[in-house]
Amino acid sequence: MAVERIDPPMIAGEREMLRAFLDYHRATLALKCEGLSDEELRRRSMPPSALSLLGLVRHMAEVERTWFRRVINKEDVPLVWSPEGDYQVAYDASGATRAEAFAAWQEEVEHSRRIERAAQSLDVTAYAPRWGKEVSLRLVMLHMIHEYARHNGHADFLREGIDGTVGV
């Protein structure tokens, strides 16, 4: 399946702009993984790091779930890969497949989109236990853009190490 990445608008309202940049970064992660086998997606950056493209996809499923479902929507759901709440578990993709990782990630992205669209405004707040304070939906969306941008940088290096592809 070809990944469609749409450039964010140059002029738009705040919410539309945040949505567009978040979706742009989501699509960028998918593009970094496009055309690779499960084995290539599981390839680790360097020992002892467990970092791999598939691990990043799994991690971002956890991040989407945490910020949108657990924090903003106040759902009592465990992490996708660690009922104990250990975020590092997602990075270990040694037994993972593209199918299961991408299905979980895409499911969480769709939950996130629904939750964001249903929110009255970017000023909606919720308690973030990890930070010990209230956060707004605006902050969550900005944090998610930051999280994707940072990990897409990692994905750039990982992809280059696999097949030399850069700049996607």
Query: Sign of the C-alpha dihedral, residues 134, 144, 131, 85?
Result: positive
Per-residue pLDDT at 20? 98
Q: Which tokens hold the place of 29?
A: 């992660």
Q: Which tokens hold the place of 137?
A: 């939906």
Q: Of the candidates 140, 63, 74, which has an alpha carbon nearest to the alpha carbon of residue 109?
A: 63
Q: How far is CA 163 from CA 50, 99, 124, in A?
A: 19, 21, 43
Per-residue pLDDT at 160? 95
Is residue 1, in this structure, part of any structural domain at all? Answer: no
Is residue 8, in this structure, part of any structural domain at all? Answer: no
- In tens, the pLDDT along 98-136 reads 999 999 999 999 999 999 999 999 999 999 998 999 999
Is residue 20, in this structure, part of any structural domain at all? Answer: yes
Q: How far is CA 69 from CA 6, 9, 126, in A?
A: 25, 27, 11
Residue 67's domain spans which residues?
14-163
**Distance separating alpha carbons of residues 18 and 76, to the nearest angstrom:** 26
Q: Which tokens hold the place of 13?
A: 């309202």
The count of domains in the chain is 1
Report, in angstroms and rounded to the nearest whole number, the Rg of the chain calculated over CA atoms: 16
- Spell out, as residue ranges, where the chain has pLDDT lower than 70: 1
Please report how the helices 137-163 and 14-33 are oriented relative to each other, as an axis angle in degrees rounded to 10: 20
pTM assigned to the model: 0.95
Is residue 121, in this structure, part of any structural domain at all? Answer: yes
Tokens 């964010």 map to which residue? 8
Amino acid at 32: K
Is residue 158, in this structure, part of any structural domain at all? Answer: yes
Q: Look up the CATH number of the domain holding residue 105.
A: 1.20.120.450
